[in-house]
Amino acid sequence: MSPTLRNRLIGVLIALAIFVADQLLKAYVLHGLEMQLGDSISFLPIFNFTLTHNYGVSLGMFTADSQEMRWILVGVTALIAVGVTVWMLRETKLADIAGLAMILGGAMGNIKDRYDYGYVIDFLDLHFGAFRPFLIFNIADAAITIGVVIILARSLFASDKGETEPASEAVES
């Protein structure tokens, strides 16, 4: 198996693992803990499970307040997921593939929620007293954010050391 094929397979497995972990933890919150909308369970002094429904996308923007908007969001996010999949399958470096796979796995988890329920299930609540550095989120949201940070960091700071330019010819004096 070529290194590129191996990296792409690892990417698919990362996306699948994130999707499965996201869905299993959401099922645990809903069915194992039997949480209802607004319920909160404290796990650590800085961390709760607080069940919310997110009808919008990133930071609650573009709220789907009708069935039409719900399906438009499902369609748009599915198209974005297809684009991320194509991009991931064109990459060769594992770091780039892993970042895209995290985005893809998270997108699939949130798309499934929106398809099944009409909203995304959020429940991870990190706080420091009354200060909350993030809105309530889920595993899929965290994976998407980390994946985007990886892609941005790689595009800004990584140099492809394996690719070299042809040597310049010496100029005679």
Would you give the distance in Å from CA 6 to the centre of its chain? 22
- Which has the closest alpha carbon to 118: 79, 71, 161, 152? 71
Tokens of 106: 């998270």
Cα separation, 107 vs 78, in Å, equals 8
Among 99, 105, 110, 123, CA closest to 77: 110
Annotated active-site residue 22? The verdict is no
Known catalytic membership, residue 116: no
Query: Active site residue: 96, 113, 122, 125, which one?
Result: 122
Degrees to nearest 5, angle at CA 170 with 169 and 172: 130
Nearest partner of 23 among 112, 141, 142, 125, judged by Cα: 112
The residues assigned a catalytic role are 122, 141
